[in-house]
């Protein structure tokens, strides 16, 4: 299994979310992009445990199973497709999540997320794990 972690899935993993943890443990490859890293690091700056969180992220990224995909022209083409599809159905999602979806589409991966709005992105396979049982 080849997966892509969005920011919410990585955060849930660190908080001990069992289903996400199990999916990460079973994955042959784990992917993130610069957008996810930027969102995480922005959160670290605002938080009280910046160095601890940076150390945990660096440890995670050092795994041979973890890869960082670049955002490039091919990603931009997929971004445009996803954005226009969502506009047509009237279900916009945050811009950063469009870029995350475009990377997932580009690599043909499975997205792990706690964000339900990714379920509206028909071009990707999403494994949604609610943070709250009522979601």
The pLDDT profile of the chain, 135 residues, written as one tens digit per residue, is 999 999 999 999 999 999 999 999 999 999 999 999 999 999 999 999 999 999 999 999 999 999 999 999 999 999 999 999 999 999 999 999 999 999 999 999 999 999 999 999 999 999 999 986 444
Residue 134: predicted pLDDT: 46
| pTM of this prediction exceeds 0.85 | yes
Give the three-class secondary structure for 2. Answer: strand
Q: Which CATH class is domain 2-128?
A: alpha beta
Give 36's Cβ-side CA count (13 Å radius). 27
Residue 31: predicted pLDDT: 98
Domain boundaries, the chain: 2-128
89 neighbors 99 (Cβ within 8 angstroms): no
């Amino acid at each position: 299994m080849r997966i892509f972690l969005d920011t919410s899935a990585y955060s849930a993993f660190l908080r001990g979310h069992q289903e996400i943890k199990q999916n990460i443990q079973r994955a042959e490859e784990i992917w993130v992009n610069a957008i996810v890293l930027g969102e995480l690091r922005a959160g670290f700056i605002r938080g009280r445990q910046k160095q601890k969180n940076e150390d945990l992220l660096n440890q995670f990224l050092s795994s041979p199973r973890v890869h960082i995909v670049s955002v490039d022209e091919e990603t931009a083409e997929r971004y445009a497709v996803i954005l226009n599809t969502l506009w047509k159905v009237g279900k916009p999602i945050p811009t950063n999540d469009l870029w995350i979806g475009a990377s997932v589409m580009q690599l043909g991966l499975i997205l792990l997320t706690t964000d339900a709005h990714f379920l509206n992105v028909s071009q990707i396979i999403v494994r949604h794990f609610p943070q709250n049982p009522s979601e």
